[in-house]
Amino acid sequence: MPKQIIKGREIVANDWTLLRAPEAAEGSTAEDAATAAEALTVPAGRVIVPLATWLAQRDALASRAAAGEIGVWIAPHEDPAALREDLPRLALVAVDFPKFTDGRGYSHAWNLRSRLGWTGELRAIGDVLRDQLFSMQRVGFDAYDTRPDRSIEDALKGLTVFSETYQASVDQRVPLFRRHARPTPAAGA
Amino acid sequence: MYQYDQYDHLIIRERIEQYRDQVQRRLNDELTEAEFLPLRLQNGLYMQRHAYMLRIAVPYGLLSSKQMRMFAHIARKYDRGYGHFTTRQNIQFNWIKLEETPEILSDLASVEMHAIQTSGNCIRNVTSDEFAGVAADEIIDPRPYAEVLRQWSTFHPEFIALPRKFKVAINGAVEDRAAIAVHDIGLTVVHNEAGEIGFKVMVGGGMGRTPILGSVIREFLPREHLLTYIEAIMRVYNLHGRRDNKYKARIKILLKALGVEEFTRQVEVEWEDLKGTEQTLTLEEMERIIAYFQPHAYKSLPAIDPAAAHADNKAFGNWLKRNVKAHKVPGYAAVVLSLKKTGVPPGDATAEQMDFMADLADRYSFSELRVTHEQNIVLADVEQSQLFDLWQEIKAHGLATPNIGLLTDIICCPGGDFCSLANAKSIPIAQAIAERFDRIDFLHDIGDFELNISGCINACGHHHVGNIGVLGVDKDGSEWYQVSIGGAQGNNSAIGKIIGPSFSAQQMPEVIDRLLQVYVRERTPEERFVDTAQRLGIAPFKEYVYATPIETAGRLVGEDEYA
């Protein structure tokens, strides 16, 4: 069975290849990893490449990007603002969650949607699990490459946990107190 | 107090269903323990030494009598007949079964309560002044803003996996009773020169391994900008707080690394385009929330001297002196019910006491109670003329110990008897000290005193800001206690200084005794212990405490008496 992802609220075939640098050796630094990523060979087809790969090979990848074949993924320690000028050339942006307990990706998504104007597909990759999907959707993700050892049908349920939320985010720019006339104590008593 | 509307009810109901399903998946092994852990923590469920512990949120410490009765019900039905009020104004139950937690949450929801974000690396329950709304020295009631923050932070989608836990406290009085300087964010509600309401914003205080007092990053933030400004702080922290070492992950470390100026600059830059967005508070919303915290229907009463009719009753006089606080309305007083009776672990209350306190609230105090961060309970609106009757009632239930703010009003974490993080037990130390000094005249002579005990460096017992702070440490597998003096909370917050090598549990009462002897010897007539300790520094205390060996064979209350 081909690998599937959730897009919007549907389960669809994943027609993108995710390119990651080989697992870094023990004791290597973030710079080592970036250097390794810069030198990666980008395979044929639609590929999501590391930010460092894109920044190093952007000219070589230009025609493929123009053909809608290139997406870029961002690691927690990276700044999506590095893509500011390039976003119009990309078909997809992904944000990596190496561990679901590292919440930087939520702010990256928020920044991509709210400040960098990214309106294309924003995909969560890595340790992406059902119980985090609701929050991911709220901060602007619209695609989820859920962990392959878990049922994707189950994961889908994570998107519909709450029907109301208090605060504004990307999915709902208007907080509850501006959306609804909420009761005062006299009226509510 | 605030009452849930249909939206609050809906969100809590959907939360319980989500959590019930998570528990079921854990029991079916569809979730690993590692995956379940942050989920249950964000619902206040810890795995302790003997069982699960469930921590229930008491938003800014305010409770209705109905809610207190529900705690009694939970204590009886799901626990062993008691609960423990915490230094963050919450309550925790120590003998909980995982399978029963969804039912407990349903019971709580029926009285508009929950356990959301009482733990985990997220924004925790916002704490405040236990005398908010009634304190004679209050400038602005902080509770409406605490409620605004509660709603905004509940399931905030972007800040659910922060580098570390995040605690906000808010004060609106002249005296800071909310310990704002030792919180990740400490807010003070203030007026500016034009008479507008806003906040002084302090960031980066905290205890734990690196105790540090918060720094003011903004002198005046107009109140409508509360949420967008805090969002800016949170985003800077979420993106840049350290995640490589949990002991360096709190916002205080980030602020220290960047410096106050640079940190402030980053927050202000982050805030620039948030300012004025839809999340900005409307006047209508602020007024709507404020309307829930209007003064009660107070009678028009003369202010009286409650001691006058009972001048010969010294016990009542002692209680009035320590446990009764000034109220802004003439003829009323706020009463602190002491959960620090010698022989009982600090902050513990039985189901019977909870029911009884709820009854008292109904009969004496507009059906409301408050939990203090010193782990006592407050009846905030008692008529002065009824104080004597109230006192007589509570004596019989072990709630009238006249020791509020005294040596035996000890702040103490659950420690090694319950907590799996602890290096050492803390309750038996508190017990032994309370027994040693269980003489009310002596305690009143020693006067204002904060003795704070933590069983480990996480500092749930606030030892850094105790006038005497006791920290349990592990040395080669046995339990030792490090002692510091000169710490203080409130407007003149200070971090205590360690006096020297640590002590065994058995030595602790004598150590405290010797520290007190130095104080009694050296004090000027006006000085409290903390003043003397701060004036003289640790030298004379250290010299006397370590001058001669201290017996190590003393009696200490054992774990089993509380297990």
Question: Can you spell out the DSSP letters for B305-371?
Answer: -TTGGGTT-HHHHHHHHHHEEEBSSTTEEEEEEP---TTS-TTEEEHHHHHHHHHHHHHHSTTEEEE
Confidence at residue B12, expressed as pLDDT on a 0 to 100 scale: 97
Out of B2-6, B44-48, B478-482, least confident range = B44-48
Mean pLDDT of chain B: 94
Residues 222-241, chain B, touching A (beta carbon < 8 A): 227, 235, 238-239
Q: What is the pLDDT of residue B131?
A: 96
CB contact under 8 A, A168 and B278: yes
When comparing pLDDT for B559 and B357, which is higher?
A: B357
* B23 vs B21: CA distance, rounded Å: 5
Shortest Cα–Cα distance, A14 to chain B (Å): 24
What does the pLDDT look like over B428-475, one tens digit per residue?
A: 999 999 999 999 999 999 999 999 999 999 898 999 999 999 999 998
pLDDT at B154: 97
Q: Is the pLDDT of residue B552 over 90?
A: no
How many Å from the N-terminal Cα to the C-terminal Cα in chain A? 57
B44 near B119, Cβ under 8 Å? Answer: yes
Superfamily of domain A4-163: Aldolase class I (3.20.20.70)
Q: What is the mean pLDDT of residues B69-93?
A: 96
- Two structure tokens written together for B233: 């702080």
Give CA–CA dist B60/B57, Å, rounded. 9
pLDDT at site B559: 35
pLDDT digits (tens, 9 = 90+) for B44-62: 999 888 889 999 999 999 9
pLDDT in tens, A20-60: 988 767 777 777 777 888 889 999 999 999 999 999 999 99
Residue B563 clears pLDDT 60, i.e. is over it? no
Residues of chain B contacting A76 with CB distance shorter than 8 Å:
243
Between B7, B153, B238, which is nearest A103 by CB?
A: B238
The reported pLDDT for the residue numbered B51 is 87
Query: pLDDT tens, B332-356?
Result: 999 999 999 988 899 999 999 999 9
* Residues in chain A where the model's pLDDT stays below 50: 187-189
What is the arithmetic mean of pLDDT over B302-309?
Answer: 95
pTM of the model: 0.93
Q: Does B151 sit within 8 Å of A166, measured CB to CB?
A: yes
Structure confidence at residue A30 (pLDDT): 74
Instruction: Quickly count: other Cβ atoms within 10 Å of residue A144's Cβ.
Output: 27
Contacts of A184 in chain B (CB under 8 A): 288, 291
Which pLDDT score is estimated for B554? 58
Instruction: List, for residues B237-276, the tens digit of each pLDDT value.
Output: 999 999 999 999 999 999 999 999 999 999 999 999 999 9
Is the confidence at residue B555, as pLDDT, over 70?
no
B19 touches chain A (CB under 8 A): no
Residue B108: which residues within 8 A CB-CB, separation 6 or more?
B56, B70, B74, B114, B115
Query: Which of A163, A175, A188 lies at the smallest CB-CB distance from B10?
Result: A163
| HSE-CB of B38 using CA atoms within 13 angstroms | 18
Q: What are phi and psi of A93, to 5 degrees?
A: -125, 135
Residues of chain A with a CB closer than 8 angstroms to some CB in chain B: 76, 100-104, 106-108, 110, 115, 129, 131-132, 134-136, 138-139, 154, 161-169, 173-178, 180, 182-186, 188-189
Whether B552 has its CB under 8 Å from any CB of chain A: the answer is no
DSSP annotation of B100 reads G
How many angstroms away from the CA of A63 is the closest CA of chain B?
33
ipTM confidence: 0.96
Residue B562 confidence (pLDDT): 35
- Interfacial B residues in 260-319 facing A (CB < 8 Å): 273, 277-279, 281-282, 285, 288, 291-292, 294
- Taking the domains of chain A in order of start, what are their residue ranges? 4-163
pLDDT value of residue B556: 53
Residue B508: predicted pLDDT: 95
Query: Distance (Å) from the C-alpha of residue A69 to the closest C-alpha of chain B?
Result: 30
Tell me what pLDDT residue B561 has. Answer: 36
When mean pLDDT is compared across A34-38, B407-411, B425-429, the lowest value belongs to A34-38
The residue-averaged pLDDT of B83-110 equals: 95
| Torsion angles phi and psi, residue B93, rounded to 5 | -115, 135
Beta bridge partners of residue B91, listed in sequence order: B56, B85
Give the SS3 label for residue B207.
coil
Query: Residue B291: its chain A contacts at CB < 8 A?
Result: 184-186
pLDDT tier at B417 (50, 70, 90 boundaries)?
Answer: confident
CA-based nearest residue to B104, from B69, B61, B73: B73
Show residues of chain B in contact with A153, CB under 8 Å: none
The structural domains of chain B, ordered by start, are: 6-109 (3.90.480.20), 134-290 (3.30.413.10), 308-395 (3.90.480.20), 411-561 (3.30.413.10)
- In chain B, the percentage of residues whose pLDDT exceeds 70 is 98
**Residue B385 tokens, joined:** 């003329």
Which whole number is the average pLDDT over B524-540?
A: 96
**CB of B65 within 8 Å of any CB in chain A?**
no
- How many angstroms away from the CA of B267 is the closest CA of chain A? 14
